[in-house]
Amino acid sequence: MTTTVPTRRSWQPAVTYGLIAVNLIAFAFSAKASGSIQGNMAALDVQNLALSERNTANGWWWTAVTSGFLHFGLIHLLVNMYSLYILGSSVEQFLGRARYGAIYAVALLGGSASVLWFGLENTITVGASGAIFGLLGAELVLVLRMKMNPTSLLIVIGANVFMSITVPGISLLGHLGGFVAGAAVAAAMVYVPELIPQEQRTRKKIESVGWACTALVAAVVIALVAVRFATYPDPQVYRYR
């Protein structure tokens, strides 16, 4: 007699796959609306979902989110989706789906906040790269927390920053904003709970403190986005005192 031993299904990065699917759907929508794959941002309905000076002046706050799922052409999409798969799978497996999703969301908004405050004029900004840079920031925090050698990751980060500076049309501000926001959330999750006295540390308390600090970072980023939409183009925004 033979028996079949049940095997555990291999782990899959479900949230990463879901994010990639949303980006692909958004690209299909933009290509259909514009009647072109490479000129997929041509339609007004698509441009109304991007991060731009006009949309911000209109108070269209949702563009801080929707812009993170649009891309300029197929190459832009494929490069970002490949990066999202590689980085996203790693961070999602290490931190779990909920915390990974939080990092991605806050990093996306962090990239938008940076563009809104420092690089909005005469630009149209779209792409998942702000959130992806947030995953880079999170991975750096995790590598440092585990006391691993960060050299290879720092080289990758440096190369990406160099490309952001030298290649035309890339939003350096969006990348930096996403990186800082993603790193801040990851630090809140893995470093702040260590401040709890050893004798009081429980899994529930560690998770509660981590999520509370994550919520604080998210609140700051959301406030930056909200204030910018509420005040733009008020001249007070640009006045130094």
**Digit-coded pLDDT (tens) for 226-236:** 999 999 986 44
Residue 94: count other Cβ atoms within 10 Å of its Cβ: 15
Rounded to an integer, the average pLDDT of 175-182 is: 97
User: pLDDT digit string (tens) for 81-98?
Assistant: 999 999 999 999 999 999
- Which residues make Cβ contacts (< 8 Å) with residue 152, sequence separation at least 6? none
- Which residue's entry shows tokens 């509660």? 208
User: pLDDT digit string (tens) for 149-175?
Assistant: 999 999 999 998 898 888 878 889 999
- Whether 76 is catalytic is no
Can you read off the two tokens belonging to residue 58?
């209109």
- Whether 129 is catalytic is yes
Select which of 112, 114, 129, 171 is catalytic.
129
CA torsion 234-237-240-241 (nearest 10°) is: 80
Select which of 52, 114, 171, 175 is catalytic.
175
